[in-house]
Structure formats: structure tokens, C-alpha cells
Amino acid sequence: MKKSVYSMCGMCTVRCPIRVEVENNKVVWIEGNQHLLGGALCAKGSAGVALVADNERPQQPLIREGGRGAGRWQKVSWHTAYDYITDKLKKIKKEHGPESVVLSSRGGPWQDMYKTFIHAFGSPNYTNHDNTCGRNTHHASLSLNGVGRTGFGYDIKNSKHLVLFGRNMFASLKIAENLQTMDMLDNGGRLTYVDVRQSMTGLKASRFFQVRPGTDYALALGMIHEIIKRGLYDEEFIDRYVSGFDELCYFVEQYTPQWAAKECGVKEKAILDFVDEVAEDMPQVIFHPGWNLSRYKDSFYASRALHILNVLMGNIETKGGLIIPKGPSDCGIKGIRNLDCPKPDIKRADGVGWKYKHFDKGPGLAHLFFDAMEKHDPYAVKAWIAMRHDPFTSMPDPQRQKRFFDNCDLLVSIDTHYSEFGWYSDVILPESTYLERDNPICLQKGPKPRLAVRRKALEPEFDTKAGWEIFKQLADRLDIGDYFPYKTIEELYEWQLEPTEFTIDDFEEKGFISLSDKPIMFDRQELAGQFNTPSGKIEIISKKLEDANLPSLLTYESPRKPPKGMFRLVYGRAAVHSHSHTINNPLLHELMPKNSLWINKKIAAKLGVEENDVVDVIAENGVTERVRARVTEFIHPEAVYTVHGFGRQIPLQTKAYHAGLSDQKLMVNKLDDWDRAGGAINLCETFVQVRLSPNNPKRSVEL
């Protein structure tokens, strides 16, 4: 029997809307939802078929038998696994208090479920991956605009000029955004791209600035200087909604385009030409504030400068600019209900909210739990539940992390795959893949807000379960089941939709429920109240930062030059992989089985390295990774670049096992090197040595 199911892709966390065709419990077709994406989908989205079939993923709950990481597992029933975990949690709670348990997840639309679980258990310590992702950008926006990084959407389609600093969107995909950008380019829009190397996005750009690594802040300051000097900003918008503009004018006087050009290694004329274009295109100019904005010591301030450029354009709530996302109340209707439990009134173990008051308390900062594990400061952390999060791959220096995690009595991984952390854990609970499970309904805010839901397209291939069921089962055993008021997913949907006028059947026609027919725009004269800062204005000078002894406008300091014989290690994504969890996918492995090390042609010649040679990449403490060189003119000579996610160490993943290089293993001592203003780990402040490997078969013999 053939059926068609609207759902949500899960091959990366963008969660594009999809339609899946299924015949005899096998997926025969996946496409992007025609109503929203016109059928478009990326290679990873299409490879969902291979994920379901992949038998190199955990097929039933596993409890560790040997030492941590030894890879000896006992296959157990779900009941045994649930009992094992909850017995341990009860014991830990009794001995060390409930706050000694941390739960980390990938954030996203279902985090209410995970937060409810950990809060109801009695711990305030929910955390997520964002300390290695968008935290700097998030905090930058929060300090300036009073709303976080999702506080604005981008009307790229109607924009005349999109400016991207290291936002490599045609490899680091988000299909709806890609489609909008293609439309913008087709309509004659301009794209300016800034990176230390040429990329898929740079190739589509009308202007490419190849900057010296870590100098984006200088380029942004030079742009601000010129825009202010030439009076190209939206004076009315600034008078009405912005405080601290005079301080900004005074601060940027020193940062001329001539200075910025020299600092970044670009042409002054190119900056001036760029500003000429901005004068023609504003206010339909978008400065994307960065997503994974490269993690340098001043990326928080670079991101703030990009937000300031938007403010100068006066592009907030304009067509072709930044749009404030709208929700049900803006449509005059009631929204859905989400699981909820108030956060216990206990200090967080990572210090966020009391030691570090200027950070968003929500998910805290995952790298700041290690003192609690090692020194019981401010109290002991004894258990870590990783739900769709792999600390060993996403945070640097897994070797050192293992020593911290060894202080814990319980490590649990709830994952569709064997993660590096899962492999080291005590229990693995295998979640069904996104095609084999339902997820709760979620609200997707935007100019046209909608409700979306992931529906199960297939029965699970193996003995795996959905997250909603896993958390309910654990909660029942811990006597906190009342916070999860359902037995089946249908009951959960009913409970979520109760305050609204909708039923779950309303999703069937298009796969989502539109809450508004037309885009909702606020009146630009009435934006007061949208900026959730202490003053209600966009604050160029932030009291919260100044109270934390951090400047609002940081004096520029040139990034460190790599020590002799070393290079700055930078990283990014490839269009056909999602971090580390697609490397073993049979179809995607075929498209890209390994990563490589990009190195500048002139530098490679000096090192005697030719294209495809094997090189040793050596961290400051001697840790060595081996990989093939990709020799190119299109990378700055100070940097080497690789795609993140490779170099995996799980023997059961036969395709990914030791394929390519692991960038996080080379980032030694980076757990302590984090941005006091933005919170993220300074991953890009890593230097490595590169040399031709002695293990280099120069001649291959054809047999």
C-alpha cells in the first residue's frame, strides 16, 4: 500500500518541511513540501532513506559491560534500560541532590520537553550545543536589540543587497533561505561575501572580500565609519529607537576604510565601492549577523558591529530587511500548549545567571560544567544525559573532556546513532529516526506564522522509540509523570491543541497550519516595545555589559599571527554532511567519504606539499591527525581549513571509522579559552603545525 505523509526533515536541525511517499513500510520518495519549498530538498534530505536502512546504528537499548569506551555492550529491553537509568538517578539525587544531574540537548522546537523533565526532576541544569554554535551572535543581538538571534527573520527575497560574513549558506544549507537568495539574485540583487577562503557562497557573490582570519570586526568598523561619515544612515530610525549613537560616532572615528583595508588585506577602493552600493540599496540591505560566526576572541563584537550596521540601515521591519517574527497573538488567536515545569530556584552549576549575570540563563554554557565535575564547584555534577547532543564532537578536546566526565556516575546518550559521547556512555537509548517517529507540534514564528508537526512515515526498522515516549517512561518511573500529561502521541497532540481552534487533522492538507494568510508587518512608527532592553531602545551602549566590566564598544586588537611554521585552523560545513552524524550514511559517504586540509598554494610549495599528499596536522600538545592536502590559491596563507565531523572513532561505523581528520581533537586546551562577553568557545583561536607526512606513499604501484 502506498501512502503520502507530510513531515519534517531530520537530517540536520534546519527541519525543512517534507513530503514522504511510503510503500510497504519503505520510503520510495522524499521531497520538500511543495507548498513551502516547491519540492526542493538537499542531498542529505534525500539520503534519509539510507539512514533508516543503516544497520550500523544502535538497534536496541544498550548498557555498558566493559570500561567506558571499550565498546562492550549488553543488549537490554527498554524496561531494563529505563529502570537502570532511573535507579541510578534516584541514588544520585539522594546522595548529591537533584541539581547534580545535567541534561543537554540540541535545543530547537522540542526543548520544552527536555527542560520539563530536568526541571521536574529538581535540577536547573539544562544546557545545549550553542556554546559551540551561535551563542556569540545570540548574545550580541540580546545586548543590543534585547532579543536573541532568532528575534529577527530576514526578508532576503525582497532585499537588494545581502551581506554575509562567513555565513556560507550554499554549503551550510537552510533550503528556504537558499531559495530566497536565488530569487534575490535572479531579481538583480547583490551579494557581498566575506570569508578567509573561497566557498560555494563566494562563487555566487557579486563581491568577495578574502580577509585575513579574525579581522571581520575591523572590516565592519571600517564600513560603519564610512557610512556615518557620509551620513548614509537612517537618521529618523536612529533618533526614534536607538541610544548611544553619539558614542558610536566618536568611537569609529579612528577606524577608517583605509585602516580596515590594511588590517583585513583587502582593497580600500573595494570597501568604498561597497559603501556606494549600500547608499543605492538601503534600506533593503541585510547584514547577516553570522550564525556559526567564526569563533574568534572578538566575534561577539564583530557580530554586534553587524547588528549595528543593520540599525544604521534602518532596515528593521522593512520589506527586504529584518522582520520581527510574529506569533499567534499577532494573528489574534490562541497558541498551542507546550510541556512546562518552572525552573527550580537553585544556582546553575555553570555559573550562568549568578556568576555570569550578562548571559542568557536559558541553556547556560555547556563547557562551564567541568569545574563542577572535577572540583564540585559550586557543587557536584554526577550525571549527564545527552539528548541529541554529542559533547565529544561538538566541544573541543574530547581527550580532556573524558577525564572530567569520568567523575560522573551516570552518562546517558539518547541518540539515533552511536555518538562519540554515546560510545563512552553507560547507557544508549536509541531514538527512532525522524522518518520512524512523531514529534510534538511546534510553532514556527515568522511574518506568516504557522504550526508544524513531524509525523511518522514508517514503522521503526529496529527496537527504537520516539523521544516523547522515552521521556514519559523515564518521568513515570521518577514520579514526575504528571508533567507529561499523555499516554499516546494523539493524547499529547490533543492536549497541545486544546486552547486553539485546530485539530491534528488540520495538518493533513498541506502538512502545516498557516495562522495568517498574509505576511504581518508592524507599523515602523510603532516599534516601541519590540526591543526588550532595559531602556526599551536598541542600546549601542549596554549597561548590562558595562556592569559586567565589559565594554560595549571594544577597541580593536589585531588577531595574533600564527607562530612560525604554524597555521590557524578554521573549519566549516560541506553541503552533503551534517556535522558528524551523516559521515557513516552509506549514500552521503559515497558523495564525500573524507575531509581534506585546504592549504594555500604558495605555503604548500614551501612545505614541499602537493595536491593530495598526506600531511600530518599537529596540535600544540603534539596530538597528530593525518589527512590529504587540498592545495589551492583560494585560502588565506595564515589559515588551513577543514570540514568538521570526520575522524570518527567508533569501530561499528565501518565507513566513518578513522576516515579523515577530527578538527575538535586538534583544539587542545580550548575548553578554557572562551569569550567572556559572548560565551562561546574560541574554537578559531587554534594553531596547528602542518608537515608532509613521513607516511606518504609517493608512488603507487598499479597491480
Contact pattern from residue 225 through residue 264 relative to ligand MGD, giving x for each residue in contact according to CB under 6 A and a dash for the rest = ----------------------------------------
User: 5, 14, 306, 513: which one contacts ligand SF4 (CB under 6 A)?
Assistant: 14
175 binds, among Mo ion, ligand MGD, ligand SF4, none (CB under 5 to 8 A by kind): ligand SF4
Of the ranges 14-22, 252-260, 292-300, 491-499, which one interacts with ligand SF4 (CB under 6 A)? Answer: 14-22
Least distance from ligand MGD to the Cβ atom of residue 181, Å:
12
Please report how many Cα atoms fall inside a 13 Å half-sphere around the Cα of residue 84, on the Cβ side: 20
Site residues for ligand SF4, 38-77, by CB under 6 A, read 41-42, 44-45
Closer residue to ligand MGD in complex, CB, 326/465? 465
Residue among 63 and 171 whose Cβ is closer to ligand SF4: 171
Neighbours of 448 (CB within 10 A): 15
Count the site residues for ligand MGD by CB under 6 A.
Answer: 59
Residue type, 409: D
Footprint of ligand SF4 on 537-566 (CB under 6 A): none
CB of 90 to ligand MGD, least distance (A): 23
Closer to Mo ion by Cβ: residue 129 or 304: 129
For ligand MGD, give the closer residue by CB, 145 or 578: 578
* CB 192, CB 163: distance < 8 Å: yes
Q: Which of 641, 646, 674, 687 binds ligand MGD (CB under 6 A)?
A: 641
Binding pattern for the stretch 487-526 against ligand MGD, x by CB under 6 A and - elsewhere: ----------------------------------------
Select the binding partner of residue 455 from Mo ion, ligand SF4, ligand MGD, none (C-beta < 5 to 8 A, by kind): none
Q: With contact defined as beta carbons under 8 Å apart, do 666 and 686 qualify? A: yes
**Nearest to residue 566, comparing CAs of 620, 634, 636?**
620
- Least CB distance to ligand SF4 at residue 174 (A): 6
Candidates 5, 6, 7, 12: give the one binding ligand SF4 (CB under 6 A). 12
Q: Which three cell numbers stand for residue 300?
A: 561577539
Which H/E stretch holds residue 241? helix 235-241
Comparing every residue's Cβ against Mo ion, the nearest one is: 133
Which grid coordinates are listed for 565?
611554521
Whole-number minimum distance, CB 169 to ligand SF4, in Å? 11
Per-residue contact string for residues 146-175; x = within reach of ligand SF4 by CB under 6 A? ---------------------------xxx
Nearest CB to ligand SF4, comparing residues 178 and 284: 178
Q: Pick the stretch among 106-114, 125-133, 527-535, 580-588 that binds Mo ion (CB under 5 A).
A: 125-133
- Tell me which residue of 469, 457, 453 sits closest to 504, measured CA to CA: 453
Distances (CA, A) of 521 to 151, 321, 325, 336, 446: 14, 12, 9, 22, 10
Positions in 77-136 near ligand MGD (CB under 6 A): 106, 129, 132-134
Cα 236 to Cα 241, 539, 602: the distances in Å are 9, 16, 50
Cβ neighbours of residue 564 closer than 8 Å, sequence gap 6 or more: none
Judged by CB under 6 A, the residue of 111, 168, 496, 533 near ligand MGD is: 168
Residues near 133 by Cβ (< 8 Å), separated by ≥ 6? 291, 292, 394, 680
Nearer to ligand SF4, 12 or 428 (CB): 12
Smaller CB separation from ligand MGD, 242 or 308: 308
**Which residue among 16, 282, 466, 668 contacts ligand SF4 (CB under 6 A)?**
16
276 Cβ neighbours under 8 A, 6+ residues apart: none
Stretch of 86-94, 189-197, 272-280, 490-498 contacting ligand MGD, by CB under 6 A: 189-197
Residue 371, number of CB atoms within 10 A of its CB:
15
Q: Minimum CB separation from Mo ion for residue 570, in Å? A: 15
Give CA–CA dist 703/224, Å, rounded.
Answer: 62
Of all helices (H) and strands (E), which one includes residue 599? strand 597-600
Q: Which of residues 172-201 bind ligand SF4 (CB under 6 A)?
A: 173-175
Stretch that binds ligand MGD, among 141-149, 188-196, 241-249, 612-620 (CB under 6 A): 188-196
118 binds, among ligand SF4, Mo ion, ligand MGD, none (CB under 5 to 8 A by kind): none
Give the shortest CB-38-to-ligand MGD separation in angstroms. Answer: 19
Number of residues that bind Mo ion (CB under 5 A): 1
Task: Report the run of H or E that residue 80 belongs to, with start and end.
Answer: helix 78-96
Strand ranges (DSSP E) for 94-149? 101-105, 126-128
What are 452's three cell numbers?
A: 508544524
**Residue whose CB is less far from ligand MGD, 294 or 310:** 294
Of ligand SF4, Mo ion, ligand MGD, none, which one sits near residue 194, judging by CB under 5 to 8 A according to partner kind?
Answer: ligand MGD
Binding to ligand MGD, residues 429-448 (CB under 6 A): 431, 434
Position 415, amino acid: D
Q: Which residues pair with 190 in a beta bridge?
A: 161
Decide which of ligand MGD, Mo ion, ligand SF4, none touches 15; Cβ closer than 5 to 8 Å per partner kind.
Answer: ligand SF4
The Cα 377–Cα 506 span in angstroms is: 50
CA distance 516 to 447: 9
Q: In this structure, are residues 246 and 540 in contact, taking their beta carbons and an 8 Å threshold? A: no
Residues 557-596 that bind ligand MGD (CB under 6 A): 570-573, 575, 577-581
Q: How far is CA 456 from the centre of its chain?
A: 25
* In contact, 301 and 557? CB cutoff 8 Å: no
Q: Which residues, in sequence order, are CB contacts of 605 under 8 Å at separation 6+? A: none
Closer residue to ligand SF4 (CB): 307 or 454: 454
How far is residue 535's CA from residue 523's CA, in Å, rounded to a whole number?
20
Q: By rule CB under 6 A, what string of x and - marks binding of each residue 642-681 to ligand MGD?
A: --x------------------xx--x--------------
- 289 Cβ contact partners less than 8 Å away, ≥ 6 residues apart: 137, 140, 141, 149, 303, 306, 307, 310
Helical packing angle, 257-264 and 268-281, nearest 10°: 120
Asked if 420 and 648 count as a contact pair (C-beta separation under 8 A), the reply is yes
> Which of 88, 119, 160, 417 touches ligand MGD (CB under 6 A)?
417
Dihedral pair phi/psi, residue 304, rounded to 5°: -60, -40
Q: Does 684 help bind ligand MGD (rule: CB under 6 A)?
A: yes
Looking at 18, 103, 175, 211, which residue binds ligand MGD (CB under 6 A)?
A: 211
Angle value at C-alpha 671, between 392 and 119, nearest 5 degrees? 70
What residues does 446 pair with on adjacent strands?
326
Residue 138, SS3?
A: helix
133 binds Mo ion (CB under 5 A): yes
Contact 105, 387 (CB under 8 A): yes
Identify the CA nearest to 197 among candidates 134, 146, 265.
265
**Binding positions for ligand MGD, rule: CB under 6 A:** 10, 12-13, 106, 129, 132-134, 165-169, 171-173, 194-197, 199, 211, 213-214, 216, 291-292, 294, 387-390, 393-394, 396, 414-417, 419, 431, 434, 570-573, 575, 577-581, 641, 644, 663-664, 667, 683-684
**Binding positions for ligand SF4, rule: CB under 6 A:** 9, 11-12, 14-16, 41-42, 44-45, 173-175
